[in-house]
Amino acid sequence: MHILVVDDEKAQRDLLAGFLRNKGYTVSIAASGKEAIDRNVTTGFDLAILDLKMPELDGIETIERMKEIDPETYFVVLTGYGTVESAVRAMKRGAYDYLNKPLNLDELELIIERIQGEQIMHQELEMLRAAVEDEFKFDSFIADSPKMREMLSVISRIARSDSNILLLGESGTGKDLVARLIHSASSRKNNRFIAISCAALPETLLESEFFGYERGAFSGAEKKRIGKFEFAHKGTLFLDEVGDIPISTQVKLLRVLQEFTFERLGGNMSIKVDVRLITATNQDLQEKIAQGTFREDLFYRLNVITIRLPALRERREDIKLLAEYFVEKFSKKCGRDIESISRSAIDKLVRYNWPGNVRELENVMERAVVLSRSAHISENDIPLEGDTKRRKTIHESLADVEKNHIAEILDQTNWNLSETAARLGIHRNTLRMKIKSYGIKRKTQ
Ligand SMILES: Nc1ncnc2c1ncn2[C@@H]1O[C@H](COP(=O)(O)OP(=O)(O)OP(=O)(O)O)[C@@H](O)[C@H]1O
Ligand SMILES: [Mg+2]
């Protein structure tokens, strides 16, 4: 919190400023109303404490002028003995509170704490509104396959630590959901979970999202705004699509992770935060490091613990449960009464390759619920492209088909070369040669 103390009496000014600095606030001082207004043009203040009686510009006029510049500043006025009327006038002009001289500093501190509470609440409301629009409901997390159970046990072990976590996995595998799950299993669960998607955000926009900005930091910055790092203080910050962060912003992010301090854009006050960082990407960060588009030092900071979410085709045991779960969810939502899914429909779902993973399954089941004419979902209600195999097969050359097939089996065997070769019916050396000539790469773990 940045506080401006405005008083024409030096002793009073120094007393107040000293007290507030001791309490850990950032304090600026002004000896007159005019100086206060000048300072307000260059710096946005969270709170101004003003003496009402000053030569030239008095407290009330100063408030009015400062409010024109920055309507979000809070004002507390100091009044001498017997000037209740002017305190009342100041309150009418938008002062938050007043204090009688001689000052009771404890009282002042209480007022400041109340103002801080209000500021946070104000922004919280905005965030809540955004969250409701997000329409996220944390109903249920389906994870029955051995791979997912193993992942859950990892999560329960690491959730309470403060280590940074990197979530890897194809699109639609549930990275978002897992990030929220980790937060709600952690000791930070009663504080905020803040998510930002870094995808395709230009540098300044992303940085103002991260760090916030002071009023006037750039054209259009009419009000000061706190960033997501500040907002997630004591909670969890989830950076989605972290592979998309521009390299210059990566440097700044690295600094926050090393020092836990940063400045708002256009500001010079250091802000200290305590956040747990969860990041996610479906890109190959190792490859980006090799290309020079992702910093290696940042990668190691983010990647203290890696959790890889298996693709849906690697855990087909979950497909039936997920399908049933989604049918129930959408039946409720659409007011339909769907009782069952046919066996052959389930078989079809289990055989399909799910390039879009759980999200694709969710969409397919929603469409099935909406379109089904009876209380029973049959095979015909779930048209799947190409049915079992990859859907683009026809358009691919034979070499592509071979390459993709090898990559898929490698994936399934977790790059066990002997097993892959055996399953493909070729010699290990032939497999090695093909991996090399097709340039097949292992996905990051
Ligand atoms: N295990 C699960 N149980 C129930 N629902 C799930 C599960 N996994 C994913 N979902 C649902 O599937 C959808 C996609 O999940 P999510 O958004 O978490 O994927 P993602 O990995 O973040 O995808 P992207 O990389 O595209 O951002 C969401 O609606 C989510 O609620
Ligand atoms: Mg996501």
Residue pLDDT, tens place only, 256-290:
999 999 999 998 889 999 999 999 998 999 999 99
Q: Is the CB of 176 under 6 A from ligand 1?
A: yes
Q: Is the CB of 174 under 6 A from ligand 1?
A: yes
**pLDDT surpassing 70 at residue 128:** no
Q: Is the CB of 241 under 6 A from ligand 1?
A: no
Output the pLDDT for position 130: 54
Calculate mean pLDDT across residues 337-359: 93
**pLDDT surpassing 60 at residue 333:** yes
Output the pLDDT for position 126: 64
Judged by its nearest atom, the ligand closest to the C-alpha of residue 170 is 1
Q: Is the CB of 147 under 6 A from ligand 1?
A: no
Tens of pLDDT, residues 73-105: 999 999 886 677 888 888 888 899 999 888 899
- Of residues 171 and 136, more confidence is placed in 171
Q: Residue 243 and residue 299: Cα distance in Å, rounded?
A: 10
* CA of residue 172 to ligand 1 center, whole Å: 5
Output the pLDDT for position 396: 55
Output the pLDDT for position 337: 87
Output the pLDDT for position 360: 94
CA distances in angstroms from 131 to 213, 245, 349, listed in the order given:
22, 23, 32
348 CB neighbour count, 10 Å cutoff: 18
Domains of the chain: 2-115 (3.40.50.2300), 146-308 (3.40.50.300), 331-381 (1.10.8.60), 393-438 (1.10.10.60)
Calculate mean pLDDT across residues 399-404: 81
445 confidence band (pLDDT: 50, 70, 90): low
- Closest C-alpha to 271, from 20, 26, 18, 21: 26
- Residue 161 DSSP symbol: S
- What is the pTM assigned to this prediction? 0.62
Distance of CA 28 to the CA centre of its chain: 32
Residue ID of nearest Cα to ligand 1 atom 7:
174
Judged by its nearest atom, the ligand closest to the C-alpha of residue 177 is 1
In the chain, the N- to C-terminal Cα span, in Å, equals 42
Residue ID of nearest Cα to ligand 1 atom 18:
174
* CA of residue 360 to ligand 1 center, whole Å: 9
* CA of residue 174 to ligand 1 center, whole Å: 3
Which range scores top for mean pLDDT: 117-131, 330-344, 347-361, 430-444? Answer: 347-361
Tens of pLDDT, residues 214-268: 888 888 778 888 899 999 999 999 999 999 999 999 999 999 999 999 999 998 8
Q: Residue 311 and residue 352: Cα distance in Å, rounded?
A: 12
* CA of residue 178 to ligand 2 center, whole Å: 10
* CA of residue 173 to ligand 1 center, whole Å: 5
Residue ID of nearest Cα to ligand 1 atom 8:
174
29-33, 193-197, 421-425, range with the lowest pLDDT: 421-425
| 180, 358, 366: residue to mutate for ligand 1 pocket, most atoms within 8 A of CB | 358
Q: How do 212-213 and 225-226 pair as beta strands?
A: antiparallel
Q: What percent of the chain has pLDDT over 90?
A: 52
Name the token pair of 406. 């090898």
Q: Residue 10 and residue 285: Cα distance in Å, rounded?
A: 57
Q: Is the CB of 279 under 6 A from ligand 1?
A: no
Average pLDDT value for the chain: 87
Judged by its nearest atom, the ligand closest to the C-alpha of residue 326 is 1
Name the token pair of 30. 């002004």
1-10, 153-162, 299-308, range with the lowest pLDDT: 153-162
Q: What backbone phi and psi angles, to 5 degrees, belong to 342?
A: -70, 160
Atom of ligand 1 nearest to the CA of 358: 12
Judged by its nearest atom, the ligand closest to the C-alpha of residue 174 is 1
Atom of ligand 1 nearest to the CA of 141: 3
CA distances in angstroms from 303 to 163, 242, 306, 432, 440, listed in the order given:
9, 12, 6, 29, 23
111-125, 132-146, 151-165, range with the lowest pLDDT: 132-146
Residue ID of nearest Cα to ligand 1 atom 31:
177
Atom of ligand 1 nearest to the CA of 361: 12
23-27, 108-112, 386-390, range with the lowest pLDDT: 386-390
Q: Is the CB of 243 under 6 A from ligand 1?
A: no
Output the pLDDT for position 387: 47
Q: Is the CB of 173 under 6 A from ligand 1?
A: yes
Name the token pair of 324. 């049933």
Residue 129 identity: R
* CA of residue 325 to ligand 1 center, whole Å: 13
Residue ID of nearest Cα to ligand 1 atom 15:
174
User: What is the largest distance, in Å, between two alpha-carbon atoms of the chain?
Assistant: 98
- Of residues 46 and 44, more confidence is placed in 46
- Closest C-alpha to 319, from 147, 73, 79, 191: 147
